[in-house]
Structure 1
């Protein structure tokens, strides 16, 4: 499908009259009730100091936390240059040339989620931060002590001592994870949809407003709910019509509960336009294809071209519009740089 032609046809064709007739005040009221704007701060951010956040940012870009000194958190979860918190690969390449078996989820807004990773195996951002560093397929550091030793070589002892004052041993793997989590709690998207919710009718188009209504009426909001439009619950992939990937068993590998077979965390749709390819295995390249496929698998619905174009147009209003200033890029992360 040529999606650009499809959107043009929708805008210029029969949907134009319907879209122009949308009541934005009604859409706003409905959206405030069902979704709402993103909070200004993530849970736990009230305890994060500027020094802890700055340390976490250094560590997020620190390549010494990989076995060959080439990768950082940002390698797979890119936030530089206005990126969507992902590497836009189906699965990510590790330091030893192997690829993981799941798509790297976005780090943007992740601290609002019910848990971390597609299968929810990490309770929070700090717990998540510990995993990839020691994963032999990802950053491949052999053990926690090696990670700490690498940071000492890079001159981090004084920084940790300053941030974690009063602790007998401030440079620990737990504190490393706490710092990265603190930085990640600052990664909150800013989009036009929230500006619309705040009262700016010009922030979204009539087609995008109509798309929100179609999104809700089609049943998408039953899972993609809350301010993050997802991330708050788990759901079986292929609830109505089965998904062809039957190799990845989802949360079953974590819980060993047969009811959790093919169950995954519902992804957030905030900034979804920047996080292709889609699904836990990165199998779908285009957003319109992902929306169409999910409607069929999860809702048993075959969306019309008009409905599809409206929903995808709405999702564009959830795209992050701001770019953060990155202070420490990869090799420049170290204390001595």
Structure 2
């Protein structure tokens, strides 16, 4: 008689294992992909052109935190893409030069895992991180720095000049392109593998039963049709397919010339409220339900949304350790801050 409970437990354990395998295979068939667990495969994915070196990454990190790249001297890349806040700023619309809110009421997307995006910016106008870094630096409502000012500030600081030579060679030309591409090299390293990746990479107990149920529902509801790939997003997709977005009147953003909008990543999504391109929704479950009606033409119940949000918890990634750098001192040749 004592064998029966043992047999029951064994059958239950086997069924859970089979269920995990089935869900993992289902996720892969739906187009979801894991961040590679081995360094060689990951390096190939994030650095196809082999531009990453330790010295360039360290220099790019300093430039990422460097407020003197802005006209005012007080705004850095980290201001809107705060690495301590999930790579975002936690406000509905980005705030930049002269305390100016983004004129289109656009929300700052996370920089974590942006290397996996097929396109950068909400309208997808940049193909990769090195190109993306150019835009906010020059934009008047953001960092408001002309190329010439960025170049003059960096070249006026001997420690930066020496760091560029050390990273690229003594004949390096320290121009706007080199400065912004170095920031992009650092951003390529901001990858956050999660328990979800562990699960797809074969660790069947990496997710709880509730998270597996949420993942299964996420796929069945059709969410993976847009939130797919390694980034679980990052591709250009049509918006308002089934219905009008409830808060579409906030800001004037309508996507690219074809009405396409970059799908935000779901990685670390529990840390990056508010949601949508205009930051109009703060509750993640409400965002899930809004996507159901707007994109899929279905009603997602409160219970179903809660289960999907439970799965999102498994997408909270392991962040790389970032030590805030000590930045080199200005000189008498360094252009002064300008708040106008």
TM-score with structure 1 setting the length = 0.84
Find the aligned partners of 1:319 and 1:196 in 2 and give their Cα distance.
Answer: 13
Contact 1:22 1:210 in 2 (8 A): no
Aligned-pair distance for 1:322?
A: 3.4
Is 1:287 aligned to residue 284 of structure 2?
yes
2:21 to 20, 25, 30: 25
What do the CA deviations read for 1:280-308 (whole angstroms, capped 9, x no partner)?
Answer: 00111111110010111001111122211
Is 1:334 aligned to residue 328 of structure 2?
yes
Aligned-pair distance for 1:335?
A: 6.1
Contact 1:164 1:170 in 2 (8 A): no
Contact 1:58 1:334 in 2 (8 A): no
Contact 1:118 1:250 in 2 (8 A): no
Is 1:297 aligned to residue 294 of structure 2?
yes
Contact 2:212 2:311 in 1 (8 A): yes
Alignment correspondent of 1:84: 86
Structure with bigger gyration radius: 2
Find the aligned partners of 1:111 and 1:56 in 2 and give their Cα distance.
Answer: 15
Give the number of aligned pairs. Answer: 303
TM-score with structure 2 setting the length = 0.84
Alignment correspondent of 1:212: 215
Unaligned runs of 5+ in 1: 1-19
Aligned-pair distance for 1:185?
A: 0.5
Find the aligned partners of 2:294 and 2:206 in 1 and give their Cα distance.
Answer: 32
Find the aligned partners of 1:88 and 1:325 in 2 and give their Cα distance.
Answer: 19
Is 1:65 aligned to residue 69 of structure 2?
yes
Alignment correspondent of 2:234: 231
What do the CA deviations read for 1:176-219 (whole angstroms, capped 9, x no partner)?
Answer: 01101110000101211111222323321101101111001001
Contact 2:191 2:319 in 1 (8 A): no
Alignment correspondent of 1:117: 121
2:274 to 272, 277, 290: 277
Aligned-pair distance for 1:248?
A: 2.7
What do the CA deviations read for 1:81-139 (whole angstroms, capped 9, x no partner)?
Answer: xx311011111211311111210011011111111100011121111101111111011
C-alpha spacing 1:96/1:22, structure 2 compared with 1 (3 Å): farther
Q: What SS is found at the alignment partner of 1:201?
A: coil
Find the aligned partners of 1:154 and 1:77 in 2 and give their Cα distance.
Answer: 25
Is 1:95 aligned to residue 100 of structure 2?
no
Q: What SS is found at the alignment partner of 2:237?
A: strand
Find the aligned partners of 1:65 and 1:306 in 2 and give their Cα distance.
Answer: 47
Aligned-pair distance for 1:327?
A: 3.6
Alignment correspondent of 2:4: none
1:203 to 203, 206, 215: 206
Find the aligned partners of 1:112 and 1:227 in 2 and give their Cα distance.
Answer: 6
